[in-house]
Amino acid sequence: MYMKNTYLLFIAVLLFTSSTFSQNARFSQLWAAPIQFNPSLTGRFDGQIRFGNLNSWQTSSYRIDPNQVNLNRVNHQNFTLDIKIGKYRSSGDERPSGKSNENYVAAKDPSLAKFTPNKGYWSIGLNYYHYGHSTSSVDGKFYSGSIARHFYSLSNRYFGFGGQMTYAVGDLNTNRGASYYYDMEINGGGFHISNQLTKSKSKGIQYKVNYIDYNGGAYYGLVTESVMFEVAYAMSHLFYPFNAFKPDADKPSLRHRTTASTILRVKLNNKFGLIQRNIYWKEGMYLKSRNENGDSSQSISIWAGVEFIKTNPVRDLNMSGGLYFRSFRTIIPYLNINLNRAINLRYSYETTVFSAKKYTAYTAKRHELAVILYKKRYTTIGTKFYKKLNLW
């Protein structure tokens, strides 16, 4: 009966995913930059210190100007550093489901002798996100600091919340490249270009803007040997910061962004396990929107897919692979390599499902490489896989 409920939950998550319409684009591997979309995930990893670098090389063949001959190009980089403060559970592996005996925990890991189930830990993080290219008129930089609190109220349940402050700097220069049109498929967003600037098609236009932004989020999860499930929610741009390059009446403030994510870990057998992820991202939302339908400023994306993990690897090298989709308009093959407990490499390639020559289709393509370094990581991804709490 328990496994039957697990499979029903798995199917329900997939149905939720497939019913969502989407449009905008950012990273393919959004889960490799978790602080960027939910500050409560600061410190949600196995170890004490984590440093991550995610690079994305993006192109699009979308055309606005008939005379435009080159591909649109925008490169994206994200750097993350987060640290756990005080006493913390190394990874959630050491406490089996159904037990909360402190002596049992201490016997498995002496460093946790003073750790009680109802306590948690604090974590802090820094995040830097940049997008731009020599042929792109818009260049954006985002400097973020976040803080999160994590709780383990029971042996197999956990939750947390976090907040973030971001300083954003935008640079618009129409002298860059042969075309300065804003390509929504590959541009990182965060700044508003007025219709007057878009229609002018003029060279020599330069504007800079900066603003301070505030974001918040929370998560909740549970874990057993058969299944692990986690759900997280965040809201960004809490106070509608002004983000227009040129003051005008053309929607000068940055609307809310909401994100929701789920992770489902399912036990397949003694050799392989499965991770199913969904990430929902909605940009450009008022809490009470007067124009929900047909509003071009509102864009939605959903990342969904599965990854197969080799459990209990006999070597320090553990390779896994998966397949993800963005709104079922693009396909993302994904490779994950763990070297010892210190280095994690992730590569993906995103391409379109339908041909833009025959249909009005999404045209973006992305190569992405993530390098993540850990200090005091407790296990590799496959070791004790069916007791893990941290799969980010």
Interval 124-172: pLDDT, tens: 999 999 999 888 888 999 999 999 999 886 667 889 999 999 999 999 8
**299 inside domain:** yes
Closest CA to 131 of 186, 178, 65, 75: 75
- 332 pLDDT higher than 90: yes
Other CB atoms within 10 A of residue 27 CB: 27
**379 inside domain:** yes
Residue type, 134: S
> For position 125, what pLDDT does the model report?
98
Least confident of 270-279, 350-359, 376-385: 350-359
Least confident of 32-41, 245-254, 377-386: 245-254
**392 inside domain:** no
**60 inside domain:** yes
**304 inside domain:** yes
| Most confident of the following: 62-66, 115-119, 216-220, 269-273 | 216-220
Residue 158, beta-bridge partner list: 221
> For position 385, what pLDDT does the model report?
84
CB 105 within 8 A of CB 42: no
> For position 15, what pLDDT does the model report?
42
Alpha carbon of residue 84 to chain centroid: 20
- 4 pLDDT higher than 90: no
**Structure tokens that stand for 181 in this block:** 């049109």
Rounded Cα–Cα distance for residues 252 and 337 (Å): 43
Domain span at 169: 2-387
**378 inside domain:** yes
E strand or H helix at 308, and its extent? strand 299-310
- 67 pLDDT higher than 90: no
Structural domain total, the chain: 1
> For position 21, what pLDDT does the model report?
33
Confidence of residue 64 (pLDDT cuts 50, 70, 90): low
> For position 251, what pLDDT does the model report?
58
CB 35 within 8 A of CB 125: yes
> For position 213, what pLDDT does the model report?
95
- pLDDT mean across residues, the chain: 79
- 223 pLDDT higher than 60: yes
**151 inside domain:** yes
* CATH code: domain of residue 90: 2.40.160.40
> For position 96, what pLDDT does the model report?
40
Confidence of residue 29 (pLDDT cuts 50, 70, 90): very high
> For position 199, what pLDDT does the model report?
55
**7 inside domain:** yes
Q: What is the tally of helices (H) and strands (E) in the chain?
A: 4, 14
